[in-house]
Amino acid sequence: MALRTRIAAGPLVAGALEGGAGGLSRPPPQSIVILGGSGDLTRRKLLPALYHLGVAGLLPEHYAVVGVSRSKLDPEGFRRWARACTESFCRCDVDAPNWRRFEAGLSHLSGDFGDPATFGRLAEHLGSLDRAHGTEGRRLFYLATPPSAFSEVIRGLGESGLARGSGVVVEKPFGRDAASARALNRALADVFDEGRVFRIDHYLGKETVQNLLVLRFANTIVEPLWNRRHVDHVQMTVAEDIGIEGRGSFYEEVGALRDMVQPHILQVLTFVAMEPPASLGADDLLAEKLKVLRAMRPVQPSDVVRGQYLGYRSEPGVAAASQTETFVALRLEVENDRWAGVPFFVRTGKRLARRTSEITVAFREPEIRIFGSARSERHGGNHLAIRIQPDEGISLSFLAKRPGAALELGEAALDFWYEPTFKSRLVEAYERLLYDAMQGDRTLFTGAVGVERAWEILEPALTDPPALHHYRPGSWGPVEADALVAPRRWRVPGSTDRVRPR
C-alpha cells in the first residue's frame, strides 16, 4: 500500500487497530516465521503485535506463525508461552474468541541454526502448513536472533531453498561498522531479492516520525522556512531514564553510538533534512534519504562527546574498566544548498533525566530587532518541537507580549497532541512495520546502501573514539556536551509542554 494512502488515513489506521480494518486490505496468505521465536523481542513485541493485528482484522485471512528456536517447546507449550507474553505486553485485552483464532495458527520448531537439518525440518513443516492453513507457499522470515546468528540463519535459508521468493525482516544492529554491514548485505543479496529485504528500524514506524513528511510537504506555512536562510540549528534528543536493564554483555559490544545513532537517529534525521521526493513510493523516499546521508560529512572525534553514567561499571556483565559509552552527543552537518552551515546536534543516552524523544528546529532571530534580542534564555528564539515519544505531538514556540502596561516579551506556544486531537490511540511501531512487511511495502524500511553510508558517517568516531566523561544518573549527561552546542544551549525536551488536553 502506498504511503500516500497511509498518511492520508493516519487516524483511520489508528482506529482500525482499535477494532476494525477501516478499509485497509488484509495481506496475502502467508506464513510468518520468527527465527529466535522464544527470545525477548518475540515475547515483548512481535507476538503481541501480531495478536493485535489479528484482533483488528489485519492479519492474512490464511496465515501461520512459526517460532523457531533452540527452546524445547512442544506446540502446546509454545501456545501457552505465547499467551502469557501477549497478556503481559499487548496493548489490548486478550479475550477467549480472539485468542482461539490466533493460537490456531501458532506452532514451534526446535532446532539449532547451525544445523542444516533444522532448515530441512522447517521446510517440511511449512509445506504442511501450506496444506493445512492455505498459506500458498508465501513466507516472511523474521530474524529475531542475536546478530551473531544472522549469517548462519541466512545461509541456512538459502541452502534449504526457503529463501526463494520469500521476504526477510532483519533486526538491528545491522553490522557494527561499514565493513560488517557490507558483508551482511552481500550475504543477504546472495539468497534474497533486495526488494524483499526489510531492514527494520522501529523508529520509522512511529506515527510522529512519519508525520514529519506531512508537516513539511503538506503545509505551506512550514516548507518555505525549512532551510538555512531561516533555520539556525536542529537538535534531536533520544533519552532513556532506565539503565541497561541486565543487558551488560550486549551493551558492552555496542554502546550508545552503535545502538542508537546509526540505526535510529541518522535515519530519522533524513526525514527532517530530505528534499521533496518525486512520489511517496518506497524507491523515491529511499533515494531522497540516501542523498541526505551522502551529503553528511563524516563526523570527526572532535565533534563527539562520549559519556558513561556513574555506576555503569558495577552492572552485571560490564567490565570493571569499561570504556563503553552510555551517552553520546554529536555535531553533524549536511553539506547541500538547503542546509549548508546549519549544525545538527544529536544526543542520546541511558539513565538521563526523563524518557523522551524530541526533534527541535530552532529558527533564526529577525534581522531587524526592534524589540532587542528575541533570544530566549532557555531555548534561543522561535522553535518547532516534534515530540516523537511520549506525549506525541508538535509545539510551536513564539514570542508574545506579556499582559501589563510595560512592553515585555514572553514565550508562548501552540500545541498539538495526537491522541486527544484524533480521538484515537497511535499505532504501535511494530504493528505498522509487520503489516507493511506482510504487504511487501518497503516504504518505512532502510535500504542496503543507506545502512552502509550511515556507518561510513560514524566511522572516524568509531575508530578513534574521544575520551569518556562520567555523568550523574538523572542528569542530562556530561557537562562537556554543553560545549558542543555553545554558544547555543541544549533544549530541555518538553520544557514548553502545556497540560495535556483530555
493 found inside a domain: no
Per-residue model confidence as pLDDT tens digits over 233-275? 999 999 999 999 888 888 998 899 999 999 889 999 999 999 9
Closest CA to 343 of 437, 261, 235, 432: 235
| In-domain check, residue 500 | no
pLDDT at residue 139, rounded to an integer: 97
Assess if residue 97 is contained within a domain.
Answer: yes
Asked if residue 244 is part of any domain, the answer here is yes
CA–CA distance, 329 with 349 (Å, rounded to integer) = 9
**Same-domain check for residues 61 and 156:** yes
**Which of 74-78, 345-349, 350-354, 412-416 is least confident?**
412-416
Are 316 and 287 in a shared domain?
yes
Q: Is 74 in the same domain as 192?
A: yes
pLDDT of residue 281: 85
- Residues 455, 316: Cα–Cα separation, whole Å: 29
Fill in the DSSP letter of residue 72.
-
Regarding whether 25 and 148 lie in a shared domain, the answer is yes
* Angle value at C-alpha 338, between 336 and 340, nearest 5 degrees: 55
Longest pairwise C-alpha distance within the chain: 83
pLDDT band at 207 (very low <50, low <70, confident <90, very high): confident
Residues 366 and 450 both lie in one domain:
yes
Name the average pLDDT for the chain: 88
C-alpha cell at 90: 499487548
- Read out DSSP for 86-108? HHHH-SS---HHHHHHHHTTEEE
DSSP code of residue 352: B
Which is more confidently placed, 376 or 451? 451
223/216 Cα distance (integer angstroms): 5
Cα 305 to its chain centre, rounded Å, is 23
AA letter at 6: R
470 is known as an active-site residue: no
Residues 277 and 418 in one domain: yes
Q: Given 199, 216, 243, which residue is the final one in a domain?
A: 199
Residue 51 has pLDDT above 80, yes or no: yes
Helix (H) or strand (E) holding 306: strand 304-309
Considering the domain architecture, whether residues 282 and 415 belong to the same structural domain is answered as: yes
Among candidate residues 133, 264, 379, 383, the one labeled active-site is: 264
**Concatenated DSSP letters of 362-418:** EEPPPSS-TTS----SSS-S-EEEEEEESS-EEEEEEEEEPSSSS--EEEEEEEEEH
Are residues 177 and 279 both part of a single domain?
Answer: no
Q: How is residue 96 written as a grid cell?
A: 477467549
Residues 217 and 151 in one domain: no
Write the secondary structure of 446-492 as one string of H (helix), E (strand) and C (coil).
ECHHHHHHHHHHHHHHHHCCCCEEEECCCECCCCHHHHHHCCCCCCC
Whether 275 and 422 map to the same domain: the answer is yes
Residue 428 has a pLDDT of: 83
pLDDT cut 90: percent of the chain above it: 66
Note whether residue 286 is domain-resident.
Answer: yes
Residue with the three cell numbers 500500500: 1
On whether residue 360 sits in a domain, the answer given is yes
Give residue-wise pLDDT tens across range 177-190. 999 999 999 999 99
Helix axes 282-295, 448-463, angle to 10 degrees: 20
Q: Amino acid identity, residue 161? A: G
Confidence of residue 287 (pLDDT cuts 50, 70, 90): very high
Task: Give the pTM.
Answer: 0.86
Q: Is residue 270 situated within a structural domain?
A: yes
413 or 239: which leads in pLDDT: 239
pLDDT at 495 over 60: no
The span from the CA of 316 to the CA of 245, in Å, is 9
Q: Are 57 and 26 in contact (CB under 8 A)?
A: yes
**What is d(CA 257, CA 36) in angstroms, rounded to the nearest whole number?**
25
Of 155, 177, 199, the domain-final residue: 199
Q: Which helix (H) or strand (E) holds 232?
A: strand 231-239
Q: Is residue 332 part of a domain?
A: yes
Q: pLDDT band at residue 13, thresholds of 50, 70 and 90?
A: very low
Q: How far apart are alpha carbons 410 and 402 in whole angstroms?
A: 6
pLDDT band at 325 (very low <50, low <70, confident <90, very high): very high
Do 378 and 302 share a structural domain? Answer: yes
CA 404 – CA 295 distance, rounded (Å): 49
Looking at the fold, whether 130 and 234 belong to one and the same domain comes out as no
CATH number for the domain spanning 52: value is 3.40.50.720
For the cut 70, the answer to whether the pLDDT of residue 403 exceeds it is: yes
3-state secondary structure of 143: strand
| Contact present, 409 and 401 (Cβ < 8 Å) | yes
Which range, of 129-133, 247-251, 363-367, 408-412, averages the lowest pLDDT?
A: 408-412
Q: How many domains does the chain have?
A: 2
pLDDT score at 249: 86
Mean pLDDT of 463-470: 96
Range of the domain at 381: 204-485
Domain boundary (140, 172, 199) is at 199
- pLDDT score recorded for residue 47: 96
436 with 444: CB under 8 angstroms? yes
CATH code of 271's domain? 3.30.360.10
